Amino acid sequence: MEVCKGHLPGTADVPADRRINAVKIESMVLGAVATNCYFVINEETKEAIVIDPADRADRILKKAAEEGLTLAAVLLTHGHGDHIMAVPELREKTGIPVYACKAEEELLADPNQNLSAMLFGKPLSLKADVWTCDEQELTVAGMKFRVLFTPGHTPGGCCYYSREAGVLFSGDTLFCGSVGRTDFPGGSMGTLTRSIWEKLMPLPDETAVYPGHQDETTVGAERRYNPFLGDF
């Protein structure tokens, strides 16, 4: 289907187990480069979205079973191997759809661009079930997200923002005190900085940011203290 590590001064402590408006967020650190895999859980229905299933599908499925969760979808922030390796097995065993930004289609399909061969020695080519576009509103498992197209780390990187829950899943676009690296295929520091300033910095200061690696932070803290952003 196609549709178009420590906190810096002032950074709020945002627990990995967070409940907001019947939405609970849990995380697992998985894979060779310690990727944050997030479960976004609708506590009323016990449905869950998996964001960036890095690796070890067996551990993801075990956690879902132990908590009585029904997995509803996979949302990918981008297509690098350290964020996607568990996707084939999750698809095979659950049949859930995978969402990704349309601009990431080429990278996801190419094991050289998505680094799956380099990082894991397992060349992987993926195609999303649902291709999304900038500013698209998604409702998945009864939860609403806005897709924010944030190229720079990869050509089709994106973030997922929930206004109701006050949270942003930033992938490798924005980190606590840092930004995503841009020396991989399709990366551009100028593009990445522009994406962050135009798409993420206008969000409310108190928005909790859940990145692809390392610690949680807030939009306000990164606007004030992130040394990689500078003036734009």
CATH assignment of the domain containing 94: 3.60.15.10
52 located within any domain: yes
Rounded mean pLDDT of 181-194? 95
The whole-number pLDDT of residue 18 equals 54
pLDDT in tens, 95-121: 999 999 999 999 999 999 999 988 888
For residue 167, the Cα-to-chain-centroid distance in whole angstroms is 12
Domain enclosing residue 194, as ranges: 18-225
Nearest to 144, CA basis, from 61, 31, 4, 20? 20
Number of domains within the chain: 1
pLDDT in tens, 7-34: 333 333 334 455 556 899 999 999 989 9
> Structure pTM?
0.91
List of residues 6+ apart from 82 with CB closer than 8 A = 31, 32, 33, 35, 54, 55, 115, 119
Query: In a 3-state reduction of DSSP, which class is residue 35?
Result: strand
Question: Does 10 map to a domain?
Answer: no
